[in-house]
A = this chain, B = another copy of it.
Amino acid sequence: MDQVEVFKALSNKTRLQILNWLKQPEASFPEQAVYGYAHGICVGQIQQKTGLTQSTVSEYLSTLQRVGLVKATRVGQWTYYQRNEEAFAELSQLIQSEI
Chain A contact residues, CB within 8 Å of chain B: 3-4, 7-8, 10-13, 16, 19-20, 88-89, 91-93, 95-96, 98-99
Contact = CB atoms under 8 A, between A and B. Distances in A.
Contacts of A16: 3-4, 99
A99 B3 contact: no
B95 A99 contact: no
Q: Which of A3, A19, A93, A96 counts the most chain B CB atoms within 10 A?
A: A96
Main secondary structure of the interface of A (DSSP, over half): helix
28 contacts: A3-B10, A3-B16, A4-B10, A4-B11, A4-B12, A4-B13, A4-B16, A7-B7, A7-B8, A7-B10, A7-B11, A8-B11, A10-B99, A11-B11, A16-B99, A19-B99, A20-B98, A20-B99, A88-B95, A88-B96, A88-B99, A89-B96, A91-B95, A92-B92, A92-B93, A92-B95, A92-B96, A95-B95
